[in-house]
Copies of this chain bind each other. A is one copy, B any other.
Amino acid sequence: MPTRLFPEVIRNLKLFQGVSPDEIADLLSESRVCWYKRGDLLFHQGDPVLHFYIVCTGTFETFKQTPDGKKITTDVVVAGKTMCKTEIFKSPFATHQVSACAVNDATVLEFPYTWLKKAVENHTIALNILSAVSHYAHMVEVEAEHKTTMSAPQQVACFLHRMYLLHDFNPKGFTLPYSKRLIASRLGMEPETFSRAISRLREYGITINGNQVIFNDVQKVEQYVCEHCSIVGECSQAKMHADLDPRKVHTS
């Protein structure tokens, strides 16, 4: 019975917000909890999509390999986040477009793809899933935008700032939760570029020594980041843009 194992984790999952304990228990009845060790593959690129996953503890990396053998990290999934939310809706005919690999030892809640139809019958769950997927879509949109508008140092600063908000880190000093290589890959840049980027971040009040990150001046960082960033609900000053005059733009 999964609820025994992670009662507090599961209760706090965004997906189950506003849902009564009885309903949660019912929704969990079809699920199972699985353990994975660092380096284990949750699924392969090319496998049929059979499950919907919620990461309870640990971290996963989803990646894709290009025909020429290169690896592209598409996402880093931390505890509380879901996987396959964009692929599961094509089941049972879809195949995984990415592979998922445990970065740390991890535990995962797994639901069969058939569970979804049932879950959607609960309107609160339906809205929660929709909210999660749309939030994810929006994040991907913004990051795609960043790739075309921001320099490497700016992207790194933006990523560190979001990491700081997401994990509620202490700005006066926190440890990177995973390797620089993974972050670089996640941001779509080479490790060398990432390395050079962080050495240029001192000008913006960010010091990085090994895995230790210090925001010397959080406000300065936020100013720098938010001028170019607008992930609502993740970027605290996004609302600053609300009163920009949109009429300045040249429409085509």
Contacts and interface: CB of A to CB of B under 8 A. Distances in A.
Nearest to A48: B242
A252 B182 contact: yes
Interface string A80-105: 00000111111000110101010100
Task: State which size class the interface on A falls in.
Answer: 35 or more
A45 interface: yes
Contacts of A95: 232, 239, 241-242
A143 B147 CA distance: 11
A167 interface: no
A145 interface: yes
A163 interface: no
Contacts of A99: 246, 249
Contacts of A103: 252
A147 B208 CA distance: 28
A248 B63 CA distance: 13
Interface in A62-119: 63-67, 69-72, 74, 85-90, 94-95, 97, 99, 101, 103, 116-117
Contact of A147 (B66, B148, B179, B244): B148
A17 interface: no
Interface in A116-137: 116-117, 120-121, 123, 126-127, 129-131, 133-137
Q: Which of A87, A144, A149 has the most CB of B within 10 A?
A: A144
A94 B228 contact: no
Contacts of A249: 63, 65, 69, 71, 99
B134 A89 contact: yes
A70 B121 CA distance: 44
